Each structure stands twice: as structure tokens, then as C-alpha cells.
Amino acid sequence: MAQADIVREFEEVLERLRGAHVAAFEGAKSEHELREQNARFVGPAGELTLLMKRMREVPGDKKRELGQRTNAVKSEIELRFTERLAALARALREAELSGPRLDPTLPGRAVRLGRLHPITQVTHQLLDVFASLGFDVADGPEVDLHEHNFDMLGFPPDHPATDMQDSFYISRDGAIDQRSLLRTHTSTIQVREMLKRKPPLAVVAPGAVYRRDDDATHSPMFFQIEGFVVDEGVTFAHLKGVLTRFLQALFGSDVAVRFRPSYFPFVEPGGEIDIHRNGRWMEVLGCGMIHPVVFENVGYDPERVSGFAFGMGVDRMAMLLYGIDNIKQLYENDVRLLTQF
Amino acid sequence: MRASYKWLKELCLFEATPEQVAERLTSAGLEVEGQKRYGDLPGVVVAEVRAKRPHPSRDKLNLVTVFDGERESEVVCGAPNVPAAGKRVLFARSGARLPNGMVIGERNLGGVVSNGMICSEIELDTGAEADGIVVLADELSALPGTPVASALGLEDTVFEIGLTPNRPDCLGHLGLARELSAILSVPLRLPTATVPRALRPAKSSASPARPVVLFAAQASVGGEPLANAELEVRDGERCPRYATAVVEGVTVATSPFWLRYRLHVLGLRAINCVVDITNLVLLEYGYPTHAFDLQRVRGERIVVRTAREAESIETLDGLVRTLASDDLLICDAERPLAVAGVMGGLESGVHAETKRVLVECAYFDPRAVRRTSRRLGLHTDASHRFERGVDPRAVPGVLARVVSLICELAGGATAVHGFEIYPEAIKPREIRLRVERIERLLGASPPEGRAREILAALGCEVEGSGTATLLVRAPTWRPDLTREEDLIEEVARIWGYGEIPTDVPRVRASLHGAEPHTRFVRRLKERAAAVGLTEAVNLAFVSPRQLDQARAPQPAVRVANPLSEERSVLRTSLLPGLAANVLRAQRHQVSHVSVFELARVFRPTNELLPEERHKFALVLAGERASFLGDGALYDFYDAKGLLEAICTPLARRPLETFIDEQLAEQQPSLHPRRSARIRVGERVVGMLGELHPDVAEALELTGPVIYAELDVAELLAAGSAELAPQLRPVPRFPSSRRDLAVAVDEASEAGAVGAALREAGGALVEAVELFDLYRGGQLPSGKKSLAFRITYRDPEATLTDQRVDEAHGRVVKAAERLFSAALRA
């Protein structure tokens, strides 16, 4: 081919492409179309690409000039392509942003929530307060020896005080065996811990206890927390201090607390604590200085150590805190009720 | 114990109002649980009967004209005992409101308009008599128009006191008055007993101890100076002190109004004056006494002995009681008259014709009375007090008080004799009180001298002075005072617990710390709630039937004295309780249940105590959480996922479920093909599965119910022994993933396939995850397709494609060889 022909062809193509790509790019309605059009010019088989491959056929004196003009067209195409690409992306984004709304009133995808039983929640709350005061947590069996439940706590055999604790005994070979029973209070753990350890002791013990009562305010199984401190120089004033602080942590720092004397065989002096709520005094726990007989029974010297003990019904606390009026509701495990707490 | 404010005020000279008394008693440990006002009767006045005539049309009614101090009115009265003109009655004017809520207004009775009402005792709450109107005795009559409350002295407040069993002394007004005297620092005024003083020797007796004369009559009846009542106590242990007095020439009548009213407000029914007196003294001294008709005491002889085999007595309540040889009886020469300390016999009691009364006042062993009372199922005012311990030293005073009142009120009494058998004097207990111990125990002490004052006011004799040691003789009416600490409690109690300061002890650190078990139980519960399970707390009692239905392990620990058969054994599994919870939810149309429980189960052992193990169980039933109806029912894998989420972070070891051919036999509660054992680390910690359809049906549950039960101790032991998870470096080099789907027999376990692939891949395999399970389509039946994603990584270098291809090639080959698996693209 003549050199003049090739120069003419170059000039023709460059001239055509300078205008053609603008229309082609404008006509592209999607990124895909745009890229197709782009490939028509600068793709591996594009017109411009093919043209550039023929540069070596161009005579030497024209090479420089045609080279520059070809590159200028290529840059122009690239620039237009980029601009158009951005414009298309923007248009797409605009369309998405003005598209249909989601329905925010559809329900959330459910994550099921679990709940701890109110008794457990209160137990944890109570234990946390005592833990912050330096108490250990202890545990013991629910079926225990008569000895641990009564005798070592100073209940004399046949004493009318056992009227207060009508107990479930365990059957052995079809007969009643008075040596073991379902513990009637968590004070068994007091005895067990004292037999196992030496003072100083500061222990709380939660757990299920059992008494032969069944009405709106009594369940045959219920929960107690027992606590006790034994050391040299422990006094009734300490008992008052610890339990006042405890009740404030639970019921608020302005709760009115009343200590009044009461009787439990294993404490002396013994007492009960009322708090003032909803316009009246409500009993929340029993307490007292550990009876020297108990110390003697576990091998402590009552002349040297003293201590206080207290016990409270967790059910009662839960009922007070959550406004539950029938204790049975705590043990029915109605899921509609349990999921409220 | 009911107590009358008015009576207390007679015994103790205080000014405090009923509210103040209640508050002070409560803060001294005698909890006033309730108060009721009596005599609040505005509009009810004394009226004089002026005339009466029959009702014109009604047979049983009268028209009575009464004068109420202001005007005469004619009212209709249906009572059978309308008195003659001149007598006085109690008249409720129109507008008066009676204690039973009735408001008096104009009424038309058989064509006669009646305005006002003549009242009976029961209408005014002054007594229990409902059959007739109150006709005032002449000596009580106040002027017409006098308000009834002041005319009869009705105003009173009755306290309901919740007494602790250690305070028998407060089962009488005197004891309560003594408390008030100590609390309020005011004097006590003891009741009087005027008894003739002349003494005569007693007749001989067969008792080992001879009776001594307490007091005897100054006069005699019919020349016989002493009643012939001989006394014999054959069981000095059960009866350490026994005294009687004989009163001759008694007229048994209705008691005077004040006595009847007093008994009424305190909850006792008036019977006749002699019985009423013994009841009054019961409420006054807290001391039960008994009155016999001496005419019916055969041989005029009293024998205190234990019952003979199959001996029986008809007690006052009309029941025939068969006695045991441990029961103490009061007998005459031939047969039992009373069950000692519990209840008198029907036959020997005082009645309207009684002329000669034998009064008994004794001290019985509290434990003996308690045993008898329990055995007979007979709890009486008397047994209640004897069981708790009356004051043995009060016997002569109480007897004298009864006798004195009989002389005063049962008109015509002419002769009194008293004897007793009391071989061994019961002495007050001596207790040393180191004054410094008060402060050591309480953390503070009352002002100097106050402790001594308190003890004295409570009836203690206090010797010694100064501040070192006091010798205290505790009164015998306070059996609860036995040691130094008891006295310190008395001081604290009367001084007031409110007076003791508050202080916080320094709790000394202990090496012991919380037990890992209790911490673990708490974390387990908290995690279970965190993954969406709700906690149940069920009673430990179940019925044998429930255990059978749930196919729970047997035998179970039996309660010897259950409240009912429904609650007669201790659970051996948490399934019965949780199943009941699901049933309850299903009955209330709750769409899903996901509940857990952590509690003990009990199994009998050969030891005294059963085996107790903490179990963690969960139950799932109904729809799994879904979005807009894409939900399905809970299945095995929901429970497995929850257990993994709960246990893995605690144990820091993976949880696996595996088939155990023995499971179906050992845990028949689960579906034999849809259940598995659970293993964590090396330990089998529990089981998981769908309930056996027969079990679900027996438990009345609908739909598949998924149940898992884990042993808490095993789970705790199965956990990683490392104190804390040890850091593994984050990979520095990239991984490469390849997917592989294999079609295997339905019976193949995905776990086994995955493990084999992993092994075949060698050291470069970091993870093999099952990501798809497919059945049907182009797969032949009996086959399933498992798709695994295998992650390859070299921790030390970037993997080349060639190394991954080699490893993956081995995996593919192994799959073909081991499972005859057809590879799927």
C-alpha cells in the first residue's frame, strides 16, 4: 500500500472517531453498554487499537505527528468513558435512592430472650450484696440428718419449738426414719460449715427447704438464704450494721428498718427485722447472736468467739420485690408469668 | 394469745394508749399482730321496760314499751324473755349501727311499725347468747338513757399477740402486765386471793409423798371438818406437783356480766360460774386448773397415775378417748376423771347441781403433756400452756385465787380445804451474769443500773452489786432463762433493740472462697437464660405415677409423711416437672416453650442420706423463632445448638452428641431413633433427644418435645483444666478453600465423613465444615448429599495452588474410596 494511503486512512479514522465516540457513549444506557461501546474503540479488537497497530507502516516524517494525534484521540475517548461511567453510576445511585421504601413496621427477626426465675434473680441479687461484704457462698444437701437440722442447733428433743417446723421425714424400708429429713431451714449449712472449718467465718448459703405447710402464703418447698459470721468480738451491733446495709442495698437507702426481739432456738438474743413498705411493717428476716450451745456442739469455745446468724425467705423477698401475692405462682412455672421478670 | 387492754391496765398502772401498748409490746418481742375495739356502740342505751302486750297478728312477737331516757317507744320484740315492767334492757335507737354491721331503722313487722330494737348479747357482741334479749341484773342497772358502753364498762381493745413458744409466762395477762411494767417502768398490781388461813393436818395417803395442807377451812359443814379427798400421786416424774382444794356449798349459777364479758372478748364461751372462774384464772395467770364435782369423785379420792392398757375416758368434748400407757390420768378410786393437763372427763365436770367442788392445780411435765396431746390429736388451752411450761411455784397462789373467786362469786361457799403433794421443791435457777459480757455480746450496754432494774422488774432476784458479776435467780415462770446469754437478751429486749447502735464488722478474709460448684451453677443458669431459655423452678416432690409416666429412673426416695400421694416421692429426673410446665403452656395455647431447670434429683442409697445430684435440663416444644411464617417446629438440632452455646464457653471444649445403643434401654423416656448421648471432652455428661411418643402421650403433651438432661458435676469436671483459654496466634498467611459434595448412604454419619476427609487431607486442613445437606432431586433414594467446605492453610507460608491441589486430591480420593461416594459438582 502506498504511504500516502496509509496516512490518509489514519487521518480519516482519527477524524471519524473524534466525533463517533461521543455519540456512542451518550447512547449507552448502562455500564455494560458503555463498556461495549468503549471496546469498539479501544478494546483489543477496537478500531483505534487496530489502527495503532499499523503505526509502523506510517512513513517516518508523519510518524511523530500521527502518533501524537492518535494518542490525543485515545485520551479523549478514555476521558469521555470515565465521565460517562461516573454519570451512569450516579444515575443508578439516584434511582436506588428514590426507589421504593422498606416497610419499617414489619416485625424484627426474633431473638428469643430467656429469663432467670424470680427466685434465682433474687438469690443472685442477695448473694451479690453479701459477696461485696466479704461473705463466702456454701452449699449443703437438701436431705440432711436430724442432728444437723435440729439437735446441734439446740432444739431439745420434744421441744414445742418443733411445732414451728413440721418436717418431711424420709421413709426407709416402708417405715418413717426420723434420723433423716428434708431440711426445714438452711441452718443445716451453718452446722456443716462450722464442723468443717474454723473461725473466722463469714458465709451465706442459699437453698431449697421443706416444711409441711401448703396454702396461699406457704409452699411445702421454698427457698431460704442463711448467713452467719463467727469471729472474736462479733456483736449484735455488727449484726444490725450488716443487715441494715443489706436491706438498704436491696430496698433502697431510705428504707425504714425495725429490729425487734423474737425467738429461734439457735440464737440468743434473737430477733426479727421488719421493713416499712406500703404503709406497714413487713417481716423480712430472722436473726440473732449464735447460741453458745451451737458453738459447743461444733467444738467452738463460746468464751472466745461470738457470731451472728440470719435467715430469710427468698420467696418472700421475691414476692415483696415483684408484687406477687400468692406463693403458688412462683412454682407453677407459667411461662406467661416467668417471662415478665 | 388474746389480751384485753382494760385487764392489763388493771394489773399494771400505766397510762399508755392501746396503740402505744401494742407498739411497745411488739418492740419487746411480743408481736401484736392485730387489734380489735370492743364497746363501740353509739346509739345503744339502757332502757326501762314500761309495758308489754302481745303482737296483734303474730304469735311469737310482743309489743314492748321502753323508756330510753328521752322518750317512750313501742317496739316489736321476738325474744322469749321479755321481762316485767321496771326491768332494764339494752335498746338500740334508730340510726344505731351494731357490730355486725346492721343499722337500726324503722321496720314494719306484721303491720306494726317498730322504731328501735331491744338487743341480745350476740347482736351487741357482748356475749354469745342469741336466744333472748339482755336483761340487766338489778345491781348493774344504770339510769335509762345511759350509753351501754359506759353502763356496762364495755370499752376495751383486744390485742392478738403472736407469742413465740419460749414465752409461756405471757399466756396469761399477769405475765403480759409484768412485761409492760418492765418496759414502761411502772408498778405491777397482783390480783388478790383471800383464803382462810387456819391449817389442819391432811388425812393419811397411800402416796409415796405425803400430802401437806396448803390451807383449810375455818368452818365446817355438817360436822365434817375436811373433805375426804385423799391424794395419791403415783408418777412423780410426770406430775412433780399436785394440789387440790375442796369448796363446799357452792351454788353453780351464771357468772356475773363482767366475767362473762371478759371471757367473751377473749374468745371463750361462758359456761357456769365455776368453770368460768377456772377460765378467768387461766387467762389471768396463764395457769390451767380444773374443777371436779366432788360428788362424782368415787371414794373422794384422787389418784394420779398413768393409763392402763386400753383404758378409755369420755372427755368433755363428748368423744371417747383410748389411752396409752404413757398418758397420765387423774383418777378417782375407780376410774379416770381427766386426761392430765389436756382435758377433763365429761362425767366428773361441774354442772348446775354441783354443791361440792374439788379444784385441781398441778404442775405436769411439759413433754409428757405434749406427747399425750399429740397422740390424742387434742390441743387445748390447757395442753398449750402445760406443754410450754407453767410456773411450778405458782401452784398455791393460783389455787388460792380460784378458791377465793369461787367463794366470792359462787355464792354460799362455806368450806375450803387445800392439800398438795410436792415432794421435791423446784427452785429458781441461779445464773451468773458478768456485766461486761453485756457489752461484749451487744456491742453496747444500757446506762448503769438499768440492766439490774430490768431483770428485777421481770421477776429475777438479783444479788451482787457493782459492775463485775451479778447472781441472778430467774423466776420459775421463765423456763427459757437458763444461761447468761438469756439474761443479756432480756436486758436487750426491754432496753430495746433500737437502742443498740449499728456497726459494720471487718469481715476477715477467708482462704476458703466460693466453691467452684456454686459459681459454676450460677454461670450455667446465666448462660442458659442468655441463649433464650426461661428458667423454671419446680417442687422436688412428684408422684410415683408421674415418674412412671416419664419413665424416670426408679426407685425414688419416699417421703414418710407426704402431704399427698401426688407429692410423695422425690424426683429422680427433672422431666416430670418440666413436662408439667410444657403441658400448662400448651393448655394455654402458648406457641412455643423453651424452658430450663437446674435442680437436684434424689436416689436412695444404703446410707442415711440419699444421693443428691444437680441436673441441668432443658425442654423445647412448639415453634422455633421464625420470621413471617417461615417457622418450623423445634427439633433435636435446636437443643443441640443451645447446649453448645451454653456449655462450650463454660467447658472450653466442644460438645458432641453420639449414638449409644444402650441409651434407649437406659433412658426409655427418649425416642430410640432420635436421641443421643452428650459428650464433652472425655466425659459423657448427659443425653438429648425427642421424647418417646409413648411418653409424650402419657404426659399429655402434643407435638415433638425435645428434652436434654446433663449432670452438672460431670459437666464441671469435663471442662478444660486450663485456668484460662490460652492464646492462639491469628494466622499470618492466607487460607484457601475448596468445596466438596459427596453423596453417601443415608445411614452415614456426617461427623464420621467429615473426620475422614480431614484425616485424608493431612496437616494442611484447618477446618472441615458441613454447609449443606441435600436429599431427593437426582439423588437415588437412600442417599443423601453432604457438602463440605474445606479450609487449607499453612501457618508458616503462603500456600501454592499446587500444594492445595495435592491435598484436596487426597481428600477426593478418600471420599470415593471410603464412602463409595459419588462426587457432585
pLDDT value at B419 more than 80: no
More confident residue, B198 or A36: A36
Q: How far apart are the first and last CA of chain A?
A: 94
Indicate the pLDDT class of residue B194, thresholds 50, 70 and 90.
low
Contacts B541 to A, Cβ<8 Å? 220-221
SS3 B513: coil
Q: What pLDDT score was predicted for residue B212?
A: 55
Q: What pLDDT score was predicted for residue B432?
A: 95
Contacts B388 to A, Cβ<8 Å? 160
In whole angstroms, what is the distance from residue B586 CA to residue B620 CA?
A: 12
Q: Scanning the structure block, which residue is given the C-alpha cell 443451645? A: B642
Distance of CA A258 to the CA centre of its chain: 35
CB contact under 8 Å between A114 and B531, yes or no, is yes
Mutate to test the interface with B, among A219, A335, A339, A341 (most CBs of B within 10 A): A335
CB contact under 8 Å between B505 and A176, yes or no, is no
In whole angstroms, what is the distance from residue B414 CA to residue B808 CA?
A: 122
| ipTM of this complex | 0.84
Q: What pLDDT score was predicted for residue A117?
A: 95
Contacts B482 to A, Cβ<8 Å? none
CB contact under 8 Å between B497 and A201, yes or no, is no
Q: What pLDDT score was predicted for residue B203?
A: 39
Domain B212-421 top-level CATH class: alpha beta
B429-499 CATH fold: Phenylalanyl-tRNA Synthetase; Chain B, domain 1 (3.30.56)
At B652, phi and psi to the nearest 5? 55, 35
pLDDT value at B794 more than 60: yes
Q: What pLDDT score was predicted for residue B205?
A: 40
For every residue of A266-304, DSSP letters joined together read: TEEEEEEEEEEETTEEEEEEEEEEEPHHHHHHHT--TTT
Interface of B with A in 629-668 (CB under 8 A): none
B731 and B795 in contact (C-beta within 8 Å)? yes
Q: What pLDDT score was predicted for residue B227?
A: 45
Domain B13-36+159-184 top-level CATH class: alpha beta
Q: Scanning the structure block, which residue is given the C-alpha cell 416485625? A: A107
Q: CB-hemisphere CA count at 13 Å for B554?
A: 12
Kindly report the CATH number that applies to the domain delimited by A118-338: 3.30.930.10
Q: What pLDDT score was predicted for residue B514?
A: 63
Q: What pLDDT score was predicted for residue A214?
A: 86
Chain B contact for A129, CB < 8 A? no
In whole angstroms, what is the distance from residue B98 CA to residue B130 CA?
A: 14
Q: What pLDDT score was predicted for residue B224?
A: 41
Contacts A164 to B, Cβ<8 Å? 165
Contacts A117 to B, Cβ<8 Å? 535-537
More confident residue, B536 or B505: B536
What is the mean predicted confidence (pLDDT) over B557-580? 94
The reply to whether B13-36+159-184 and B429-499 are identical in fold is: yes
CB contact under 8 Å between A335 and B581, yes or no, is yes
Q: B256-260, B314-318, B769-773, B814-818: which has the minimum mean pLDDT?
A: B814-818
Portion of chain A with pLDDT greater than 70, in percent: 97
pLDDT value at B455 more than 60: yes
Domain B516-718 top-level CATH class: alpha beta
In whole angstroms, what is the distance from residue B526 CA to residue B367 CA?
A: 50
Q: What pLDDT score was predicted for residue B202?
A: 36
Considering B514-518, B549-553, B819-823, the range whose residues carry the highest mean pLDDT is B549-553
More confident residue, B449 or B820: B449
Q: B29-33, B56-60, B534-538: which has the minimum mean pLDDT?
A: B56-60
What is the mean predicted confidence (pLDDT) over B519-528? 95
A180 and B608 in contact (C-beta within 8 Å)? yes
CB contact under 8 Å between B534 and A335, yes or no, is yes
CB nearest to A136's CB, from B513, B570, B608: B513
More confident residue, A214 or A305: A305
What is the mean predicted confidence (pLDDT) over B542-553? 95
Q: What is the pTM of this model?
A: 0.83
What is the mean predicted confidence (pLDDT) over B521-538? 95
pLDDT value at B123 more than 80: yes
Chain B contact for A148, CB < 8 A? no
Nearest chain A Cα distance for residue B782, angstroms: 36
B619 and B593 in contact (C-beta within 8 Å)? yes
Contacts A330 to B, Cβ<8 Å? 537
Element (H, E) at B173: helix B173-184
**B690-720 pLDDT per residue, tens:** 999 999 999 999 989 999 999 999 999 998 8
At B620, phi and psi to the nearest 5? -125, 135
Q: What pLDDT score was predicted for residue B822?
A: 62
Chain B contact for A102, CB < 8 A? no
Q: What pLDDT score was predicted for residue B195?
A: 57
Element (H, E) at B407: helix B395-409
C-alpha cell, B818 = 471410603
In whole angstroms, what is the distance from residue A115 CA to residue A341 CA?
A: 7
What are the residue ranges spanned by the domains of chain A?
3-97, 118-338
A156 and A291 in contact (C-beta within 8 Å)? no
B202 and B184 in contact (C-beta within 8 Å)? no
Indicate the pLDDT class of residue B444, thresholds 50, 70 and 90.
very high
Chain B contact for A212, CB < 8 A? yes
Indicate the pLDDT class of residue B466, thresholds 50, 70 and 90.
low
What is the mean predicted confidence (pLDDT) over B226-247? 80
Contacts A208 to B, Cβ<8 Å? 540, 599-600
Chain A contact for B443, CB < 8 A? yes
Q: What is the dihedral of CA B564, B566, B572, B573, to 10 degrees?
A: -150
pLDDT value at A259 more than 70: yes
B44-154 CATH fold: OB fold (Dihydrolipoamide Acetyltransferase, E2P) (2.40.50)
The vertex-B202 CA angle with B200 and B204, nearest 5°, equals 150
CB nearest to B537's CB, from A176, A333, A335: A333
Size of the A and B interface in Cβ pairs below 8 Å: 261
What is the mean predicted confidence (pLDDT) over A76-105? 90
CB contact under 8 Å between B532 and A219, yes or no, is no
In whole angstroms, what is the distance from residue B316 CA to residue B348 CA?
A: 9
Q: What pLDDT score was predicted for residue B225?
A: 39
In whole angstroms, what is the distance from residue B592 CA to residue B621 CA?
A: 6
Q: What pLDDT score was predicted for residue A79?
A: 93
Q: CB-hemisphere CA count at 13 Å for A95?
A: 7
**A215-244 pLDDT per residue, tens:** 888 899 999 999 999 999 999 999 999 999
Computed over every residue of chain B, the mean pLDDT equals 89
List Cβ neighbours of B539 (8 Å cut-off, separation of 6 or more). Answer: A219, A220, A221, A331, B567, B577
Indicate the pLDDT class of residue B142, thresholds 50, 70 and 90.
confident
B280: DSSP letter: H
Q: Dump strand ranges (E) for A91-213.
A: 136-137, 143-145, 169-172, 175-182, 201-210
pLDDT value at B816 more than 90: no
Nearest chain B Cα distance for residue A58, angstroms: 46
Indicate the pLDDT class of residue B221, thresholds 50, 70 and 90.
very low
Chain A contact for B434, CB < 8 A? no
Considering A162-171, B239-248, B484-493, the range whose residues carry the highest mean pLDDT is B484-493
At A303, phi and psi to the nearest 5? -75, -25
pLDDT value at A187 more than 90: yes
Chain B contact for A198, CB < 8 A? no
Domain B736-824 top-level CATH class: alpha beta
